[in-house]
């Protein structure tokens, strides 16, 4: 099982969201701990992976050797790639 590590920016992003959205994102991240490559997609124009949760996106690095998912950013899909 993969470890979930949240960067300060990701924690800040999550705390700004309303509780319903935050819970939905958190539950999806917990599902991803079993097999992150089932849910995350490789980004094309930048390094890392994305996870789609409705209109929200999670940007993360996945390190196989350490079995870690490092969440870098959580944002609405129209702002996440800026």
Contact indicator for 18, 54 with CB cutoff of 8 Å: no
17-33 confidence digits (pLDDT tens): 999 999 999 999 999 99
Contact indicator for 16, 76 with CB cutoff of 8 Å: no
Residue 82 has pLDDT above 90, yes or no: no
38-48 confidence digits (pLDDT tens): 999 999 988 99
Tell me the domains of the chain and their CATH numbers: 3-76 (3.30.2310.20)
57-67 confidence digits (pLDDT tens): 999 999 999 99
pLDDT at 36: 93
């Amino acid at each position: 099982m993969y470890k979930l590590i949240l960067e300060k920016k990701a924690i800040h992003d999550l705390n700004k969201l309303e509780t319903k959205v935050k819970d939905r994102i958190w539950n999806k991240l917990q599902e991803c701990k079993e097999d992150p490559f089932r849910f995350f997609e490789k980004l094309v124009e930048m390094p890392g992976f994305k996870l789609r949760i409705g209109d929200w996106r999670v940007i993360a690095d996945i390190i196989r050797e350490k079995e870690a998912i490092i969440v870098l950013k959580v944002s609405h899909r129209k702002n996440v790639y800026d």
